[in-house]
Amino acid sequence: MIFTSIEFLTFLAVVLTVYWLRRERRWQNMTLLAASYVFYGWVYPWHAVVLAASTLIDFALARRMAMHREAARRLLWLSVVLNLGLLGLVKYYFSINVPLAGVATAAGLGGDFLLAKIVLPMGVSFYALKKLAYMIDVSRGTIKPSASWMNFTLFVSFFPQVIAGPIDRAQKLLPQLAENRDWRVENFHAAWPLLVMGLFKKLVVADSVRVIVDQVFLQEEPTQLLVLVGVLGFTLQILADFSGYTDLSRGIAFLFGIETSENFAAPYLSLTPGDFWNRWHMTFSFWLRDYVFFPLRRAMVRRKHLPAGIAVVIPPLFTMLLSGLWHGTGWTFVLWGLYYGVLIAGYQLAGVRGEFKSARGWEKVLAWAVMFCLIVFGWLVFRAPSLTWLGHVLLERPFTRTAQNVTGSLVALAMIAFYALPLLLKWLIDRSAPRSIVLHGSYYALATLAAIVYFNSSSPDFIYFQF
């Protein structure tokens, strides 16, 4: 089920009705837990079995950590191996699918051997990181392990965010799950704008621009002008698609009286690469910062014999390489991760920080323009079908060929700009008139109408479902 389907809307209505029948915490948590496993295992029930098994293992390991502190390090490493092993299987299985089929054939099992056709569970990238953060915090003594298997299992599997985040920490969700929740009208007031914007971003903006973007990146020999238009479209598409998912996820959670984390803070207004990652997919960025970047940097700083520059360069390179590998298995994702690692390290070595508090207006505009171009180029690497395709586009393809090519590219660019305008208008309204009931009410009314007009039960999956 995806959030924009009639099937999910029916499911949500049923769950909300059952959930609010009683204002008792255990009833509500049991309802949410059952709903989360139905949601996750809707197509392939065995996926729910994998989720439940990995969750209960970590619940038991965390409890044992608290009772046997001397074994905490070994238990943590066991959890890391199990979670990263499951994550690695999901990420890299298809890379070894053909060799595995060959081995199966050589062993007399046939090319259609079960493991060569297995359908791997979705969302592992997100709930594995959620569980790892919990296990690391327990091992550090930052938090105490949950005493309730139900609350912990619900924390991991909470259906609005189990497929694609946000990657909330235990410190945020578990206390809410341990409290009684009463319906308040404020829940609806918080949820409705998020639900409207989530549907609008996905159905009206992202799915419309996707048609243009896919046509560009499916071409074997596009001109550089057409690729520029395509990557600008993808820059809009991926923001609308992923932030739209997050809005829907947060809005649905609010309907259950639960507040989840924000994931985006106007990332395309960033002035530096570090600033961008503090605004883009924030829960994932903060996960990398707290559990990879900071520990690695502290470890390198403590080694006095290392040159100071090494402690600046290696942590962002390694952290962003992991980010690239987390996103996908292709070389384009590896290059994309290293690209941002180099940018972050380069800006830090140059002494450029994200504040620009004392900078003049034109300096901030210049910093923004440079950073936006770097972001767009990064999305080109990210979206490219292959490194070979990318190399041919950058080094061999002409900027344009014919007048018809220029006209077609400009028409596509105009369409992309048309779909970008409503999001720009929303930002301007939020910034210039944050308390204007008339402006906000009119905007949400029009956005609701547009989402209804564009509603399509066969809307494609959200982009980050594949990660």
- Could you give the residue numbers annotated as active site? 327
The DSSP secondary-structure symbol of 116 reads G
Task: In whole angstroms, give the CA distance from residue 47 to residue 119.
Answer: 9
DSSP 422-436: HHHHHHHHHHH-TT-
Residue 12's nearest CA partner among 155, 146, 195, 139 is: 195
DSSP 71-113: GHHHHHHHHHHHHHHHHHHHHHGGGSHHHHHHHHHHTTS-TT-
408 contacts 229 by C-beta, under 8 angstroms: no
Q: How far is CA 437 from the centre of its chain?
A: 31
Number of Cβ within a 10 Å radius of residue 251: 23
Sign of the four-CA dihedral 254, 260, 265, 266: negative
Residue with tokens 């985040």: 165
Burial of 99 (0-12, 13-18, 19+ CB in 10 A): exposed
429 contacts 439 by C-beta, under 8 angstroms: yes
